[in-house]
Amino acid sequence: MSGNLSVAIVGATGAVGQEFVRLLAERRFPVGRLKLLASRRSAGKTVEFQGRPHTIEELTDDSFQDVELALFSAGASISRKFAPLAAEAGATVVDNSSAFRMTPGIPLVVPEVNPEALEGVELGNGGIIANPNCSTIIMIVPVTPIHRAVRVRRIVVSTYQAASGAGAAAMAELEQQTREVLAGRSPTCEIFRQQYAFNLFSHDSGIGPDGYNTEEMKMVRESHKIWGDSSVAITATCVRVPVMRAHAESINLELEEALDADQARSLLANAHGVSILDDRTGNRFPTPLDASGRDDVFVGRIRADISRSGKNGVHGLDLFVCGDQIRKGAALNAVQIAERLVGDRTRRSARRVEVSLSR
């Protein structure tokens, strides 16, 4: 395998696909050849990468010949059809959809949390890796250091999710609705069935017989798989809010051992992928604008849960977090997975050279 990779982006015209392109350039990912794949209606358009225009190609069954890494962000139905084809052609797939997250044998990875799940995966040798749901990533990055230190027994999380979670078309509709409502006109409701501008509503995913919607259950099941521990009780309430980009979450933790706010702050200050914004005096805490376009998950409102702490041996902690759904919640996490695979490949190559020289 050459030093530079042959990379394909599936869903290159979407919000996450465009972020893939930006991140590969920003982070100087070793791209030798880049294929941009999308639907037939987008084929022929151009996207600039590393100062050169790249023409978008129509996604077909034969799109993955000689591709070593395929980054998917085109929806679950596209992934179910084309990700196995890419893997069979030898590409290592990092899939951003929900298609394979809970499939046994397919790693579900947040690099700051469970990089060991990538053991045995080699770039350009086929296989599928699943990227978790954005809300799960934004929660689990800051909660994991606490879980490792004192063990979390229970999580109660409420999310405040931006339009970016539903893609570029939803972001455009929120902008359009805002203009329409301010002008006194009825809002256009094509992506969502109700007014989004100046409103909020329960997440628009399907609701099961237990009353939980799909988004909420993703947070429960995916967290269990990432941690390899289904004993942690998790309940979630997911809400759409009229914010353009970056999700916020209110997180209440029940802990096995006591952990005060200062101890929690110290743990989080040393955690990779976390930035603290917790100014009580100035009443300044994380906002979606703080997180937009940033790699880290921002954490604030770090405080002991006064309803639980120390009572009957139960300890609690509250956090408020914000993370960029398009970036860390989607594209960045996938690119970080790919970067780890590149690092693993480099280390294996170095070991082979050392063995060869020692003979």
From CA 283, how far away is CA 255, in angstroms rounded?
26
Whether 24 contacts 36, CB under 8 Å:
no
Tell me whether residue 54 is one of the annotated catalytic residues: no
- Verify whether residue 238 is a known catalytic residue: no
Q: DSSP H helical segments within 275-331, as ranges? A: 288-291
Q: How far is CA 166 from the centre of its chain?
A: 13
Distance of CA 176 to the CA centre of its chain: 26
Between CA 196 and CA 178 the distance in angstroms is 8
DSSP E strand boundaries for 263-312? 274-276, 297-304
Measured between alpha carbons, how far is 86 from 91 in angstroms, rounded to an integer? 5
Count of CA atoms in the C-beta half-sphere (13 A) of 98: 12
Q: Which of 54, 147, 203, 247 is catalytic?
A: 247
Establish how many alpha carbons lie within 13 A of residue 194's alpha carbon, considering only the half-sphere containing its beta carbon: 10
Where do the H-state alpha helices sit in 151-274?
Answer: 168-182, 214-227, 261-269
CB atoms within 10 A of CB 313: 9
Phi, psi of 329 (to 5 degrees): -75, -5
According to DSSP, the β-strands at 5-10 and 31-38 are parallel
Instruction: Give the C-alpha distances (Å, rounded to integers) separating 39 from 48, 60, 88.
Output: 18, 9, 21
Among the options 54, 134, 203, 322, which is catalytic? 134
Query: Which residue intervals of 202-358 are DSSP H helices?
Result: 214-227, 261-269, 288-291, 332-358
Collapse the DSSP code of 83 into the 3-class scheme (helix H, G, I; strand E, B; otherwise coil) and give the result.
helix
Which sequence positions are flagged as catalytic?
Answer: 134, 247
